[in-house]
């Protein structure tokens, strides 16, 4: 386990106490060469209406990174996608959550869309995931009746099923929807036996079975 300095622990504690996001770039596990995902900054974090801006010190190539993450060369598509993410990335207090937007952008960039169709689907997937997690959080709020909890559970299940279907659609878009089915026919003559699976036997046992079958046919 890597050693953690006292300074790092104090910084993490301050971030938690002040509700400030930790902007330190941390390499992805198992992918030391992977750069941190593209991020945005809200003019007023946790506001009811906000515009996205590049994080401090990340003005260079920020818009190009956003476009690449969304798989597009259209500025309108990037702007529309950011507005859609802002509408879906809500905190428990109904304000726009900068953390949720950046988490959604990380998911979208991980999907690596190659065009606007895949980019739109990746945005839908991120929004569906956020909606499902929001509904699941309401189940544990302790404020709802049994009927409300059952309704939340049903809604969350449908959202997670929709997310799985979106993943499958993305896979089909990239593979062309091709499916390969392998069919094998096994023909068994009268009096014969067929075994499907991996069968390992000693040579002596195989020879005994052959002899038994020969005697049976002779009778």
pLDDT, tens digit, for every residue of 180-219? 556 666 666 666 666 555 555 555 555 555 555 555 555 5
When comparing pLDDT for 34 and 113, which is higher? 113
* Selection from 48, 28, 44 nearest residue 36 by Cα: 28
User: What is d(CA 183, CA 53) in angstroms, rounded to the nearest whole number?
Assistant: 55
Q: What is the pLDDT of residues 80-132, one digit of tens each?
A: 999 999 999 988 788 888 999 999 999 999 999 999 999 999 999 999 999 99
Residue 85: which residues within 8 A CB-CB, separation 6 or more?
101, 104, 105, 123, 126, 127
* Selection from 121, 195, 127 nearest residue 159 by Cα: 127
């Amino acid at each position: 386990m890597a050693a953690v300095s006292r300074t790092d622990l104090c910084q993490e504690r301050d971030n938690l106490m002040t509700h400030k996001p930790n902007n330190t770039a941390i390499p992805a596990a198992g992918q030391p060469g992977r750069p941190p995902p593209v991020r945005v900054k809200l003019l007023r974090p946790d506001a009811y209406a906000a515009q996205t801006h590049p994080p401090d010190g990340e003005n260079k190539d920020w818009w190009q990174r956003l476009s690449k993450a969304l798989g597009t060369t259209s500025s309108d598509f990037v702007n529309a996608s950011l507005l859609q993410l802002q509408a879906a990335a809500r905190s428990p207090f109904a304000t726009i959550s900068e953390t949720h937007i950046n988490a959604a952008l990380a998911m979208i960039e991980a999907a690596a869309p190659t065009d606007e169709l895949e980019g739109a689907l990746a945005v839908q997937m991120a929004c569906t995931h956020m909606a499902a997690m929001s509904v699941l959080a309401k189940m544990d709020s302790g404020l709802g009746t049994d009927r409300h909890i059952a309704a939340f559970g049903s809604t969350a299940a449908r959202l997670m099923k929709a997310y799985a279907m979106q993943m499958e659609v993305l896979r089909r878009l990239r593979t062309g929807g091709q499916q390969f089915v392998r069919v094998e026919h096994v023909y068994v003559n009268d009096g014969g036996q067929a075994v499907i699976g991996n069968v390992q036997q000693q040579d002596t046992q195989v020879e005994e079975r052959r002899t038994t079958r020969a005697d049976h046919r002779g009778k």
